[in-house]
Amino acid sequence: MVEENERALGQEFLERFRRHLSEVDELSNVILKGHLEVESHLDDIVDMIFFRPEHLRKVRLSFFDKVLVAKAYCPDPDARDWVLIDNLNEVRNSIAHRRTPQLRAVKVESVRKLLSGFGTEAFRSEMRAADEKEIIVQTTMVCCGFLTYVEESVYKVRQVISRSLEVPSPPELKE
DSSP string across 144-163: HHHHHHHHHHHHHHHHHHHH
Per-residue model confidence (pLDDT) at position 2: 62
Output the furthest CA–CA distance in the chain (Å, rounded). 78
- Residue-range domain boundaries for the chain: 25-164
Q: The whole model's pTM is what?
A: 0.83
**pLDDT tens figures, 98-122:** 777 788 889 999 999 999 999 999 9
Kindly report, residue by residue over 45-80, the tens digit of the pLDDT.
Answer: 999 999 889 999 899 999 999 999 999 999 899 999
Confidence of residue 35 (pLDDT cuts 50, 70, 90): very high
Top mean pLDDT of 10-14, 125-129, 144-148 is at 144-148
Q: Is 58 exposed, middle or buried (0-12, 13-18, 19+ CB in 10 A)?
A: exposed
